[in-house]
Structure 1
């Protein structure tokens, strides 16, 4: 049985990569294998309690940005494993474009699976150099969409034989107790809040739906991203609240900053009529929120970032134009008013994400790791 190590952000940090790694680690922490090694990537040392993988307690250490001692400690910890699974995102490691990950990978004796969460179609020269070097040092490179693999093959000097597509996992569907609402249709956006999420365009789109029957309500659920909070406080959230007030939408648009556990979040998503992802990014290769919404069978309206174009193109939602509230409003209106549209999207979402459960995704990682260990033996 393969002993896994992980390098990533990780709970109690709250971000998409931390949630992804916790879910994958919990699935790979099966009986009969040593508890996983977790190396948490942090900007500064954290004195909080150690996290726990569901059912197993991992050994944890920290990789602190710009701290060479913690880098050596992280390498020693990961070298105690058979395979290291390294999450790559430009913003989570120290140095320009997170380039401090490069000396760590060079020092690592254990073979690494590098999971790319962002593959830019038009990177800066330094971003390109970082990603190409990271991929060169990896034994295996994982992307989560066909589009991301095509960009790597077309625009980067990365060996195609190294690259594997494994989808972003989703929780196994669970029964939820949803209180049926009467008199309104709920539009939902959830996830950590930060500039670039395009929420101001989503709010403006709702202003164009005040005449719908039944009426709509818009819930934006999520806390401010911890890095945004550290640098700018609640400035973005406050600007959104001011926009809601200026547009006279206080009765139908809610900014909800409560933290929800997995069960509470599942109930919130199950109660939505439409999920709206008005993201500004035109390069986002992977969205956990998108895949979870589609897997829940909720129709999605999203701007045309690559993951949305690939996944929704099979019928689970509608693509709207970036920074265009009229386009978003028209897409929402289609779902709410066109006969049978919502049900067709519901069925398409369940069909297209049938094989995306975390247990199945973990099996893909196990298979790749097994081959890597066998080759290294």
Structure 2
């Protein structure tokens, strides 16, 4: 029996869709060469001309956007220079472990400050030339009674290798404690990478960080163009104009604003369907359960938009999203 593809799985998950043939999507990684000189650091002690990069982040198969991002980044780095060697320290979610690939040399127990320091010491003793730390507040700290207990700065203090830190969240109006944490992260990093010019500007204006950041826009898979109408027919939605949001459901995405706009959109374009594709973020689920999703459902029902907004409450692989 032939394997069922991504479109079949999506049809099972999206109400009102119908059986159709498998959708095949080809993904072609594209690499943007970037020259980066580490400021105020000694030359990298590359062995035999090989640079070894230690990534600190969550790692696949953990269901986490940072994990997917880091896997794609490692693949792009190796595609740009096959001589680069990538190793990783993976942040394990609380009460769970994963079977990682061979690139993962160390594990960090999320929420355990000593574990972050221990990983830093292990990296110091390794052959890594440089560290790339992918920062998201939930991965490097714990909220307790409204206060943020940061684990990233202690790790950076322990690390003796040059560190490039990628900030995935730059809050526009940070509380004093968060502002200080980000400032200290920047002080202890050889370079800071953000994904938008707005984030780079905020680091100067809202955080008082004078050193310019490196802006590398968040990428996406390069795909072979497919006929939009044919794909919608295969999903049983050929009569709908589709708007979609994909990824882990999280209040930071502002889904409620799109839901609030749907009555006006549907009034002008009655065939519009807004798909919210993705499961609730695991960290949010552990903390609050499905409270946020239930609030969104209530907004949809109270606005009479049940026929125009649908959830696909499922974690989708990158191929299925594409």
TM-score by length of 2: 0.72
Give runs of aligned pairs for residues 330-349 of structure 1, distance below 5 A.
none
Equivalent position of 1:249 in the other structure: 305
Asked whether the equivalents of residues 144 and 166 of structure 1 are also in contact (C-alpha less than 8 Å), the reply is yes
Contact 2:138/2:283 (8 A) holds in 1:
no
- Pairwise CA distance, 1:233: 1.6
Q: Which of 253, 262, 281 is 2:318 aligned to? A: 262
| 1:253 Cα deviation after fit | 1.8
Question: 235, 238, 249: which is aligned to 1:182?
Answer: 238
1:176 to partner: Cα distance = 4.2
Matching of residues 50-199 of structure 1 within 5 Å: 50=100, 52=101, 57-79=102-124, 80=126, 81-95=128-142, 96-97=147-148, 99-160=150-211, 163-176=213-226, 178-180=231-233, 181-199=237-255
Alpha-carbon offset, residue 227 of structure 1: 0.9
Aligned with 1:204 (options 237, 246, 260):
260
Where does residue 270 of structure 1 map in the other structure? none
1:59–1:89 distance in 2 versus 1, CA, 3 Å? closer
What is the deviation of 1:196?
4.1
Q: How far apart, CA to CA, are the structure 2 residues paired with 1:210 and 1:174? A: 31
Deviation at 1:208, TM superposition (A): 2.5
Contact 1:183-1:214 within 8 A present in 2 as well? no
The CA distance in 2 between the partners of 1:135 and 1:233, in whole Å, is: 33
Q: What stretches of structure 1 of length at least 5 have no aligned partner?
A: 267-377
Whether contact under 8 Å (2:246, 2:321) holds in the other structure is no
> 1:135: Cα distance to partner?
0.7
- 1:104 positional shift: 0.9
Specify which structure has the bigger relative contact order, considering alpha-carbon pairs within 8 angstroms and separated by 6 or more residues. Answer: 2
1:44 and 2:94 aligned: yes
CA shift at 1:157, angstroms? 4.0
TM-score by length of 1: 0.62
Matched residue, 1:21: 70
Does the C-alpha gap of structure 1 residues 63 and 184 become closer, same or farther in structure 2, counting only changes over 3 Å? Answer: same
SS at match of 2:251: coil
The secondary structure found in structure 1 opposite 2:120 is helix
Distance in 2 between residues matched to 1:238 and 1:264, nearest whole Å: 25
CA 1:209/1:131 → structure 2, altered by over 3 Å: closer, same or farther?
closer
Deviations 1:310-333 (A, max 9, x none): xxxxxxxxxxxxxxxxxxxxxxxx
- Is the CA contact 2:280–2:293 (under 8 Å) kept in the aligned structure 1? yes
Match for residue 220 of structure 1 among 270, 273, 276: 276
- The structure richer in helix per residue is 1
Partners of 2:205 and 2:266 lie apart in 1 by 45
Structure 2, unpaired ranges of 5+: 1-49
Q: After TM superposition, what 4+ stretches of structure 1 lie above 4 angstroms from structure 2?
A: none
